[in-house]
Amino acid sequence: MPVLPEASQILRTLSDSYVGDHILKIQGIVNGTTNYILLQMDEKGLSYAAALKRAQELGFAEADPTNDVTGKDAAYKMILLCQFAFGVHIKLSDFSVQGINHLQGFDLQQAKKLGYTIKLIGIAKKIADQLFIEVAPCLLSNDALMANIKNEIMLCKL
């Protein structure tokens, strides 16, 4: 399970290394900005607004971070991943997209109390010859690999 810092490397891996394979699922943190914001909220106790401002100051977030925080950037990446992995052409309107812009510190604190962390996850999974695709904040057990991905790093699990 490689840690890949750029979406282009994920696509290259799919096109070069998995050509003859039958991929059943792609799941990952595909937006480094939201991962950084959630980490700042979780580990440093920053508010959403303060974590976003810090991400902007460091250059992780755009001046207009709407596509990142609403999950649209991650959704666009999932569309590309699905084209490479499953050979399908889907639109943003074909699946559910939810961002982190409605999360509060309370949400992360409650997750932590229960032994979980919250990450924005993109998933595409074949289920009975259908493709389920979603981008949403997810609860991950603290011992899960993706729960421990820090800062602006992305991870994709094939």
Dist CA 49 CA 54 (whole Å): 9
Give which of 89, 83, 114, 91 is closest to 15, Cα–Cα: 83
3-state secondary structure of 125: strand
Ranges of residues in the chain with a pLDDT under 50 are 1-5
What is the structure's pLDDT at 2?
Answer: 35
> How far, in Å, CA of 148 to CA of 39, rounded?
10
pLDDT computed for residue 150 by the predictor: 85
pLDDT in the model for residue 136: 98
Report pLDDT for 3.
41
Please give the Cα distance from 158 to 113 (Å, whole number).
Answer: 30
| Residue 155 burial (C-beta neighbours within 10 Å; 0-12, 13-18, 19+) | buried
| pTM assigned to the model | 0.86
77 is catalytic: yes
The residue extents of the domains of the chain are 7-11+22-157
Catalytic residue among 25, 53, 72, 77: 77
- CB atoms inside a 10 Å sphere around CB 126: 15
| Beta strands at 130-141 and 96-97: parallel, antiparallel or unpaired | parallel
Separation between Cα atoms, residue 131 and residue 16, nearest integer Å: 22
Residue (of 133, 58, 61, 120) closest to 94 by Cα position: 133
- Cβ neighbors of 71 (< 8 A, separation 6 or more) are 31, 34, 97, 98, 99, 100, 120, 135, 136
Which CATH number applies to 7-11+22-157?
3.30.360.10
Task: Determine the pLDDT at residue 17.
Answer: 52
